[in-house]
Homo-oligomer: A and B are copies of this chain.
Amino acid sequence: MKEIQSVKNQIIKEVKKFHQKKQRDVQKKYLLEGYHLVEEAVLAGATIDKVFIDQKGYELYNDWLNEQLVDCYLVSTEVLKALSELPTPQGIVALVDKQEQIVENFTGAWLLLDGVQDPGNVGTLIRTADAAGFSGVILGEGTADLYSSKVLRSLQGSHFHLPIIHRNLIEVIQQFKQAEIPVYGTELNQDALPYTKVTPRKDIALVLGNEGQGVSQDVLNLTDRNLYIPIYGQAESLNVGIAGGILMYHFVSDRNH
């Protein structure tokens, strides 16, 4: 196995650039950390460009890596730390090709994110959509980058489980409407409908919005109904991840009978 000891190595310098969204966008690759996630990437058929592994990781995963026939480097602790964006590096960092997601039509339940900015919220919402058996997630403009370290951390591999696509929400909502699939916005006011009044059904689109501003007015104007979750106590609002969890599980609750 090739070895790299210095953080000044040219390959390391190049790969560190993928900490930046711009580089990920242009090259259509991203960094993935931890054995479990790298294994999921392989199982999902993702192309692994390079793998960097420290001595401890080498001892643990060497056999497995040999099987995968990927371009693999044994690196010093300093180098792995330089590549890692986790507080505690996991011994393995891989450069992975983004997978092109092709969605022909929107059957089933879809989650639409309109400017959700916090990476933890975006990751948790997608993971919850995965758990709830949603068909996919559509990321509108202003939503945190799917391939940032923080989103990947809270995603826990869910981007290998369901399609996640980038679209203009105004355009995509019109597609849902043409297909006669109801589109539900979320609005934190009493003009909206309490979510429990909506009967669960198979095909729906649910839009969640920015942490501070909520769903943008342009989008709210296009939705079929706007929903709210009643606040019974004194909290001013719910975290958008929690709100998403409550709504998504409401929409699939009939699967349980």
Chain A interface residues (CB < 8 Å from chain B): 120, 124, 127-134, 154, 156, 158, 161-162, 194, 196-197, 229-239, 241-246, 249, 252-253, 255-257
Contacts and interface: CB of A to CB of B under 8 A. Distances in A.
A197 B131 CA distance: 19
25 contacts: A124-B239, A124-B241, A124-B242, A127-B235, A127-B238, A128-B239, A128-B242, A129-B233, A131-B231, A131-B232, A131-B233, A131-B235, A131-B238, A134-B233, A154-B239, A158-B233, A161-B233, A161-B235, A197-B256, A229-B249, A230-B255, A241-B241, A242-B242, A243-B245, A245-B245
Contacts of A237: 131
Copies in the complex: 2
Contacts of A156: 235-236
Nearest to A135: B233
Contacts of A236: 156
A197 to B, nearest CB: 8
A238 B128 contact: yes
A232 B252 contact: yes
B239 A256 contact: no
Given A127-B239, A132-B233, A196-B256, 10 more contacts: A124-B241, A131-B235, A131-B238, A133-B232, A134-B233, A162-B233, A241-B241, A242-B245, A243-B245, A246-B246
A229 to B, nearest CB: 7
A255 B246 CA distance: 15
A130 B242 contact: no
